[in-house]
């Protein structure tokens, strides 16, 4: 996990080649992917997800996925990688918030647009005002 957190790609590759368990967690329930996503280490994010697809939606003790943490910390490229790898965009954490909600709350507009665009909501394509998209995202209780 420290290797992923610090961005040591070559060491991470070596450990993965030795079948290291990518689902091991720290005291907060964070996997190496949670830490890499939080730091925006996209090469390591790709390596970890390619090794174990289940890691992309693994929850920590707060109910957050790696995508939640990337969205909270404004890591656009990590969010992009995780959405490409089928991270659950609308998954709610223990506080009832999705990565979309956090991207808006933290004013990470590019991430918000990426996540909404990656979701099943096609309002943008219908020339709907962005405030309507935001209202829909905040009311994601239906999911």
Give dist(CA 58, CA 5) in Å, integer.
17
Tell me which architecture the domain covering 2-142 has in CATH: Alpha Horseshoe (1.25)
How confident is the model at residue 21, as a pLDDT? 67
CB 45 within 8 Å of CB 76: no
Among 22, 16, 95, 106, smallest CA distance to 61 is for 95
pTM, rounded to two decimals: 0.76
* pLDDT (0 to 100) of residue 52: 72
pLDDT in tens, the chain (143 residues): 554 545 555 655 565 556 666 678 899 999 989 999 999 999 989 888 887 777 899 999 999 999 999 999 999 999 999 999 999 998 999 999 999 999 999 999 999 999 988 876 554 443 444 555 566 555 654 44
DSSP 96-139: S--HHHHHHHTT-HHHHHHHHHHSS--TGGGT--HHHHHHHHHT
Domain ranges of the chain: 2-142
Residue 117: both structure tokens together:
């665009």
pLDDT at 34: 94
> What is the pLDDT at residue 123?
46
- Specify the pLDDT at position 55: 82
* Predicted local distance difference test score (pLDDT) of residue 5: 47
């Amino acid at each position: 996990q420290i290797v992923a957190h610090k961005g040591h790609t070559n060491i991470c590759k070596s450990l993965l080649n030795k079948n290291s368990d990518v689902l091991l967690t720290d005291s907060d329930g964070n996997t190496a992917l949670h830490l890499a996503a939080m730091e925006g280490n996209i090469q390591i994010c790709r390596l970890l997800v390619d090794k174990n697809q289940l890691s992309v939606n693994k929850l920590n003790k707060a109910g957050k996925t790696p995508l939640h943490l990337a969205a909270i910390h404004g890591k656009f490229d990590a969010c992009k990688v995780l959405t490409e790898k089928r991270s659950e965009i609308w998954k709610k954490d223990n506080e009832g918030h999705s990565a979309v909600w956090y991207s808006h709350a933290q004013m990470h507009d590019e991430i918000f647009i990426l996540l909404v665009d990656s979701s099943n909501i096609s309002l943008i394509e219908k020339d709907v005002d962005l405030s309507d998209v935001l209202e829909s995202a905040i009311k994601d209780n239906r999911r």
